[in-house]
Amino acid sequence: MADVDTSQTPDADEALAQEVRSWLAANWSGAPVDAAGHRQWLAKVVEARWAVPRWPAEWGGRGLPDGQARIIERAFAAVGAPGSGQDRTNLWANTLLAYGQPELKQKLVPRLLRGEVGMCLLYSEPGAGSDLAGLRTRAERRSDAAHGDHFVVNGQKVWTSNAATAEYGMLVARTDWDVPKHQGISFFFCPMKQPGVDVRPLRQVTNESHFNEVFLTDAIVPAANQLGDLGQGWSVLQTALAYERSLMGEQARGPRSGAAESTAEEPLIALAREAGKLGDPLIRQELARVVAYKKLNALNTARAKADLAQGTSSPIMSLGKLAMSRILHEEARLRTALLGPESLLEGPGHPRAEDANFLSLNAYFTSIGGGTDQIQRNIIGERVLGLPKEPEVDRDVPFRQVRGG
């Protein structure tokens, strides 16, 4: 008689749910008041092996299937506790675990899960945004007594969030100029706190400076910080982008003042009620459209994440990312319509209008970051719907011969 797997029986599920609820009751006392408290909480979650339950035990996981991992995540969400589900959401740790060298994984994976390492993305360049494979930042391999086996990096990146405070940047750079553009790229964890890295903030239309341009001048990256094989960084990048698009498709930045989120009710419905327009049939139709988009996107994102295995990418993530972009633009348009002339105001004395204007402008972040809406449509058309690829005249040309703008 074959052995029966009891790990996913209803009794096992209930025992797991009871275990995590009991642990939360004994350890969770409410949201941390500062960053240090947040990190201390994450350390507890990691130590108890709730942070990455799908991962193997050697990396702090429990080796659980997705269904049981979600039992843990739901228990955490029920009390508002962060830290679980990082095996789905932690872009940095998941990419490193899948492709990093053993020494680097041992050094950084636990710290990444505990929120102790500031990170940024060194992808886009002034001449390589939508066509990221056209990047020209150069990484040349060297070896000497001072730095050992390492790469010397020269180039420029742009639109980099958190670059000023990051300890490492996930860097894509060209290591071979004599092969087609997708084949000569390598992927690194680049140390940011060194003389060869110059970070300059960019002023945004929202009057913030979250983004930066980064100049790399003879920056040193240890060879041990290479992820994946030399020249095969494009595959590593696709995994990293899948996690990034997953996050952007699931959640978006809220209003600055918080006024729009001051009720448990759907914020747009609350705003329509406050404006006395909830009975307007046209407004109700628009509200229903936005709420339906949100619900459908949540279901699609859950499906995509369930299919996303460690170290892989999924074109379905592009659906969620594109959908979130449309949701944010639709929400911004509807907020403005509900406020009417009041939407022309701004400042702390007019929080509703301030939020509407900020969200309208900030919606473009999701339309651009992680690959533009146009790029997502190409991915969906080619890899989800099976439509013919757009022509690329330089796809099979050695990159050294590709004409630059």
Residues with a catalytic annotation lie at 244
Distance CA 89, CA 94 (A): 8
Q: Which of 253, 260, 163, 244 is nearest to 206 (CA)?
A: 253
Query: Tokens 């690329």, residue?
Result: 392
Q: How many CB atoms lie within 10 A of CB 58?
A: 7
Q: Mind spelling out the 3-state secondary structure of 332-352?
A: HHHHHHHHHHHHHCCCCCCHH
Q: Which of 76, 72, 70, 46 is nearest to 59 (CA)?
A: 46
The CA-atom distances, in angstroms, between 301 and each of 232, 253, 296, 306, 327 are 28, 17, 9, 9, 14
**Token code pair at residue 93:** 């740790």
The CA-atom distances, in angstroms, between 235 and each of 42, 186, 228 are 30, 9, 8
